[in-house]
Structure 1
């Protein structure tokens, strides 16, 4: 009988996932798979690697938002757990799962997992920390770190929007120096994101020609511009239209980025607080095996 470890966050996505545990256990049992549960803790989960080695599963399922997937992937890579991972998007933000269209038909995805269908996918790396979807800095970046967990569970994505409205008077552009595979750029920008997938902040198709298997990451930086242009970019993002070709947006593809700021800026890695700039952001090609049919 196959075994899978379910790495689940009990408080993600309105803290409702734990009510689905019996459904998931039954769904995998029906497919001849034993589901072994690992409940995450806020204060750290380093013992997860020992748990996995003890039970020797055929794969791991990460259930939660992007932050939970981020933690699970980092534990796996750091401890050399080279087995497939499946993603059960059940958090406030499920950008990577949305990009892969995993949540659209969970029974079909469970079949994919049971059949052992996998695909190697890239990761990004900042220092010793890996990210599966996005590294960013600039206006709005700190909001995800400042939203109270209770408010996020009660209001979901609306909590971020409410917090963001309060930050509008503080928005300003920052001088950046960017090296992308040794090509150099200087600009004033409101923010930048370095992305692995084309879904960021629940906004789909933010750029064209983005792939999780091309050995490269994509940088998008919104240049300093007037309010009408900024509102136009925002409207396109909300509507799911790519902004990578807009005049006010710098779009670069590279395997390696080095980004410096003239002002102190905190980064964000998959919605979790990252280091201060400057950042070296590297692509790690085909770093993980993901249960995926496509």
Structure 2
């Protein structure tokens, strides 16, 4: 009996690249000994619902889309006790998580890596009652991903994020937050905070390889204090570009779980999508929660 594969595709991610990828994926699965069932998402959270309702009927599930579609797929699988292995073919604009896992953007290569691949038990983050794959963040620039229109992302690609980000520079807001982790406490003013499981955020390399491990049960956490003048802001940008920590403005640590509270509501983003507005969040690492299917050479 042939193995069964469910393919869930977001037709609007990136420049609609999934439509061109779909034939290569279906062909590769058939040649690899799978019967493939293709499902096209029709609405927000459709990928999540499909994973909850149908994934247990298949040997593998494959998500075709951007980071948002991946987040929905992961959220659906996390709602289940038994989770089917997940293959991811990135067709979005930035695809941070795919870059960290060295996943191919070419449909033929990607599906061959999945058919011949191996399982990588990846950590997933829980955020109150929700989940994220690679980053939960607040503050400066975090609203850029979900205020940039899909048409702008499709037309301009990664440049769209930077153009949108420039609009927000004059409006950098400071948040007074209390951060508790591993028996420690930080209380200070910050303009940005990111709890991540990826070397890439918004297409940029934020951490060196030794810090960002997707299967170590810990998050990489970066906090940025407010600049007092344009030179301070320039110093922060330079440190990020060089993957260096500027102790005057930045705090970096790793943690299994983090509780963040503030007196005012803070807007969060999860994997580049709107994560809601709240005063208190509890973020926990779920070790080895989902088996991603990756190329064997990247799991050695």
TM-score by length of 2: 0.89
The change in CA–CA distance for 1:105 and 1:7 in structure 2 (over 3 A counts) is closer
Greater alpha carbon shift after TM alignment, 75-84 vs 278-287: 75-84
Q: CA deviation at 1:5?
A: 1.1
User: Does the aligned pair in 2 maintain the 1:12–1:91 contact within 8 Å?
Assistant: yes
Is 1:279 equivalent to 2:275 in the alignment? no
User: Does the aligned pair in 2 maintain the 1:85–1:290 contact within 8 Å?
Assistant: yes
Is 1:64 equivalent to 2:65 in the alignment? yes
Aligned with 1:121: secondary structure? strand
The change in CA–CA distance for 1:242 and 1:24 in structure 2 (over 3 A counts) is same
Greater alpha carbon shift after TM alignment, 150-159 vs 212-221: 150-159
Describe the superposition over 1:82-117 as per-residue Cα deviations: whole angstroms up to 9, x where unpaired.
Answer: 111011111012011000111277655534422351
Describe the superposition over 1:126-170 as per-residue Cα deviations: whole angstroms up to 9, x where unpaired.
Answer: 122111100000121222222222222222222222221111111
Aligned with 1:214: secondary structure? coil
Greater alpha carbon shift after TM alignment, 12-21 vs 109-118: 109-118
Across the two proteins, how many residue pairs are aligned to each other?
A: 290
Aligned with 2:43: secondary structure? coil
**Matches for 1:104-183 after TM superposition, within 5 Å:** 109-183=110-184
Greater alpha carbon shift after TM alignment, 172-181 vs 264-273: 172-181
CA distance in 2, matches of 1:112, 1:145: 31
CA distance in 2, matches of 1:289, 1:186: 36
**Matches for 1:201-280 after TM superposition, within 5 Å:** 201-207=202-208, 208-225=210-227, 226-237=229-240, 239=241, 241-244=242-245, 246-275=247-276, 276-280=278-282
Unaligned regions of 5+ residues in structure 2, if any?
Answer: none
Q: CA deviation at 1:285?
A: 0.8
Greater alpha carbon shift after TM alignment, 79-88 vs 121-130: 79-88
Aligned with 2:42: secondary structure? coil
Unaligned regions of 5+ residues in structure 1, if any?
Answer: none
Q: CA deviation at 1:81?
A: 4.7
User: Does the aligned pair in 1 maintain the 2:119–2:292 contact within 8 Å?
Assistant: yes
CA distance in 1, matches of 2:68, 2:123: 17
TM-score by length of 1: 0.90
CA distance in 2, matches of 1:121, 1:99: 12
Aligned with 2:204: secondary structure? coil
Segments ≥4 residues shifted beyond 4 Å: 104-109
Greater alpha carbon shift after TM alignment, 273-282 vs 25-34: 25-34
User: Does the aligned pair in 2 maintain the 1:245–1:251 contact within 8 Å?
Assistant: no
RMSD: 2.1
**Matches for 1:74-89 after TM superposition, within 5 Å:** 74-89=75-90
Q: CA deviation at 1:43?
A: 3.8
